[in-house]
Structure 1
Amino acid sequence: MTTQGACPDFEAQMKDLLTASREQLGCSAADIGRGTGIADWTSISRHLAATGDDNPLYADFQHAAQSWWCGPLAPPGFVLGVLVPESVGALYQKQYDAVELLNRVDLWWNDHIRLGQQVDAHAALTAAEPGPLVRDRATVDLTTRAAYRTGGHPVATATGVVRVQPLQLGKELIADRTIHRYSDAEIAHIEACLAAEPAIRGPEPRWHSSVSVGDRLPSMVRGPVTWSELITWMVAEGRSAPAGNLRYRQLLEQPGNVRAHAGTDWKFSERNKAREDTLSCADVGFPAPSTRGAIMPALAAQMLTRWMGDDAFLRHLSVSLEQPVFYGDTLFMGGQVTRKFIQVIDSKEYFAVAIEIWGRNQLEQLAFSGRAIVFLPEKGHPIQLPVQKEFCSL
């Protein structure tokens, strides 16, 4: 959409993308790669490995069988291994001078996903709207809503917002950064944080009455991010990655996702995968290989489940992704209880707490922020699932 050497007309491109994407509203989001369709042990263990989660409620069959839930469960973030709500609308129809970034993920759970259950997911593009100015350039926000079901019953919903940000590919970067090199003091600080990470709450109930507004969640540290961490999350997402002739044919139908590989000059490389490649990431605006955005809410969910204990239930999680986490970055996560309340749903009482959460990198830059609602047990009031609420329908 640009002439060689000319400055792109970003405003015209974003208007074109907005108009074309609105033609897809209500349609199934066919551009989203599907992940696993069953909560088998292989898929669950891949998710646990990718997030560094050793919670025995998910990792130990005997422990889970002795819990209130009477059997092995998938962690809440597992739904992101089924499908990530991140349609890019019409972005793949033709080449735009832009990058897409998962900007926000909002998750609601009605029930647990149990080991061995089939998980069905459906997603649709529900909104295409002008986003905020970034670098004084118009952006486009694309909203996808997904519903997850087990045995035909709703188990969770997710809403994701992808922000398409104009960028002159090959000439501009989304962040003025290089791969971070750690000083001895920084290394010592990370080691101290890892050593101080408290034990998982586990079977000891965290009673609603024992929690106070202002209580801090134990911090959690992940990183520095290496290629292994990047790869294990890609595997946990479970999306197929066809190679050779299969991918070539797919790319012929996605002209907006085609870009020559900066390291080899092969003309039919994937633009949206180049950000994960050391040799081509700078060509698509990334100063270093970048983690996929969906890992942030998965890590946030892990921090919450470590704190709340086996008998609690993560009801809601909303995460705003403030900036990418790059190769070599370390993520320092924390949270704080901001409210206590009792919620009545379908004549059942749920003893709830609202929690503010955040994650910062080694430069003290905010990587994500968000909020959560956790249902805690109270003496004489165990949590009854499923939660009957209309959040789980498209």
Structure 2
Amino acid sequence: MAERQSDEMQGEITPDGIQRMRNRIGNLIPQPKPFNTEASEDSIRHHAFSYGDDNPLWCDAEYGAKTRWGSAIGAPGYVGTMGVSVASPIPPEVRAKGAGALRGVPNYLSGSSWTWVRPVYPGDRVFKRYYIAKVEEKRSEFGGGKAVVVHHKHEFTNSRNEVVAIMRNYFFHVEREASEKTGKYAEIEQPRYDEDELARIDEAYASEIVRGGEPRYWEDVKEGETLPTMVRGPLCVTDILLWHSGRGFGAMFGVAALKMGYENRRKVPAFYTRNEYNAWDVAQRVHWDNARAQRVGNPRAYDYGSMRTHWITNFLTNWMGDDGWLLKQSDQIRRFNFMGDTSWVHGKIVRKYAEGKRHMVDLELWAENQRGEVTAPGEATIILPSREHGPVVLPGEAGEFKPSVQNTDYSVIVEE
């Protein structure tokens, strides 16, 4: 009962809360200082290591200097650790219209799509426009039938206001009490691997190939071709800790230690709940604390959906080599990836084509767990070098992709 009385993460989905969230659409939302304000060789390497990617293009400056890029560059997802906010303060009367929107209603990352336009080099500074693009009501089994989906857009630009990358993601907001009662995933058994299963996982790790400096030419691939399967897991708490070591804890709720944690709790009390010691701790601990995860209707703690996004990116960059360019990647987080689960990443080429000077392939992707469940289906487009037509032409070189048009100093024109 004590937890119920003090637990502020028990918000309800109401028409007023939904409307207040819609009132935020198009408003540039000021962001705290990002984990990285300037790219560096060290932070690029730390980011790659945080999700188990040892590609020397991200991790070895001497190696990178010999590639077409002339330097180590950030892995595709690295730009997500950056982005100094360019948003002006939202006027009080505008902020009031969105105040308290879905406050205390937990949300779960359910999908994302990325477009990468330019590489990030050591020394680069990146800026960000972030806003809510769409709000829709949905039905959800996990949320007891009621959910709100909030779509976000993040635009990353350089000091010349050129687009570096665009990321769209969406979160399902479901009532915590409803998800506890539903208990959709509560009966999933804890895995226990035998020696043969562990040997299969080890064999997959040992046989993983990073294409690296050997170009994968467009002429050498064909539709229907399958990519070598990649494994990630079994997931353990160590993987979550290392994930944070290269990305921080996320700026949205300001997770911080000790005195700074106390100060943050004063600012964002709804983000804190009582733990087993009756002390305050972050609600985010569902990703490493089994007891808290079970409290909200799950059998065990679970990964961040963005971890699987990075694993799929890792899978693609391993295959395409240093001279390829990952243009687009999208994925859906269909199921939880719980502690102890193993993800097998698969892919195949579904289309091979040329557009102007670009020679591309579209791929179908999916991450599947040891129970045979697809947890994260996705798609991607890769630009490959051509034996006949030469190296990859980046979108940035052709002047494509422009930042959103601002209609005030604090808002943008939202385009679907």
Task: Give the TM interval when normalised to the shorter protein.
Answer: 0.7 to 0.9
CA distance in 1, matches of 2:123, 2:71: 11
1:242 aligned residue: 256
1:20-53 deviation line (CA, Å, top 9, x unaligned): 2112222234577833222212221221111211
Q: Note if contact 1:157-1:391 (Cα within 8 Å) is conserved in structure 2.
A: no
1:86 aligned residue: none
Relative to structure 1, the CA distance from residue 90 to residue 194 in structure 2 (aligned partners, 3 Å threshold; closer, same or farther) is farther
Of 192, 201, 214 in structure 2, the residue corresponding to residue 181 of structure 1 is 192
Q: Note if contact 2:343-2:370 (Cα within 8 Å) is conserved in structure 1.
A: yes
1:67-90 deviation line (CA, Å, top 9, x unaligned): 11121111111123236xxxxx87
2:214 aligned residue: 204
CA distance in 2, matches of 1:119, 1:11: 35
2:128 aligned residue: 121
Counterparts of 1:28-107 in structure 2, within 5 Å, are 28-30=28-30, 34-82=34-82, 94-96=103-105, 99-107=106-114
Question: Is 1:362 aligned to residue 370 of structure 2?
Answer: yes
CA distance in 2, matches of 1:252, 1:59: 39
1:295-353 deviation line (CA, Å, top 9, x unaligned): 11111111111101111101000011111212211111010000011123xxxx11010
TM-score (norm 1): 0.86
1:264 aligned residue: 277
Relative to structure 1, the CA distance from residue 250 to residue 49 in structure 2 (aligned partners, 3 Å threshold; closer, same or farther) is same
Relative to structure 1, the CA distance from residue 211 to residue 91 in structure 2 (aligned partners, 3 Å threshold; closer, same or farther) is farther
1:339-381 deviation line (CA, Å, top 9, x unaligned): 011123xxxx110100011101111111201000000010232
CA distance in 1, matches of 2:14, 2:148: 7
Q: Which has the higher strand share?
A: 1
Question: Is 1:315 aligned to residue 327 of structure 2?
Answer: yes
Q: Note if contact 2:141-2:182 (Cα within 8 Å) is conserved in structure 1.
A: no
CA distance in 2, matches of 1:276, 1:29: 29
Q: Note if contact 2:141-2:184 (Cα within 8 Å) is conserved in structure 1.
A: no
Q: Note if contact 2:115-2:329 (Cα within 8 Å) is conserved in structure 1.
A: yes
2:172 aligned residue: 163
Question: Is 1:220 aligned to residue 230 of structure 2?
Answer: yes
CA distance in 1, matches of 2:225, 2:382: 14
Relative to structure 1, the CA distance from residue 170 to residue 318 in structure 2 (aligned partners, 3 Å threshold; closer, same or farther) is closer
Relative to structure 1, the CA distance from residue 17 to residue 151 in structure 2 (aligned partners, 3 Å threshold; closer, same or farther) is same
Gaps of 5+ in 2: 84-97, 406-416
Q: Note if contact 2:163-2:401 (Cα within 8 Å) is conserved in structure 1.
A: no
Relative to structure 1, the CA distance from residue 326 to residue 14 in structure 2 (aligned partners, 3 Å threshold; closer, same or farther) is farther
Count of matched residue positions in the alignment of Structure 1 and Structure 2: 373
Identity percentage over the alignment?
A: 24
Offset at 1:391?
Answer: 5.8
Runs of 4+ in 1 over 6 A off after TM superposition: 89-93
Which amino acid is 1:375 matched to?
Answer: I
CA distance in 2, matches of 1:126, 1:162: 12
Question: Is 1:150 aligned to residue 171 of structure 2?
Answer: no
Relative to structure 1, the CA distance from residue 286 to residue 234 in structure 2 (aligned partners, 3 Å threshold; closer, same or farther) is farther
Counterparts of 1:4-19 in structure 2, within 5 Å, are 13-19=13-19
Q: Note if contact 1:46-1:232 (Cα within 8 Å) is conserved in structure 2.
A: no
Which amino acid is 1:154 matched to?
Answer: V
CA distance in 2, matches of 1:195, 1:32: 40
1:305 aligned residue: 317
| SS of aligned partner of 2:260 | helix
Gaps of 5+ in 1: 84-88
Offset at 1:214?
Answer: 0.6
Of 333, 346, 349 in structure 2, the residue corresponding to residue 337 of structure 1 is 349
2:23 aligned residue: 23
Q: Note if contact 1:275-1:286 (Cα within 8 Å) is conserved in structure 2.
A: no
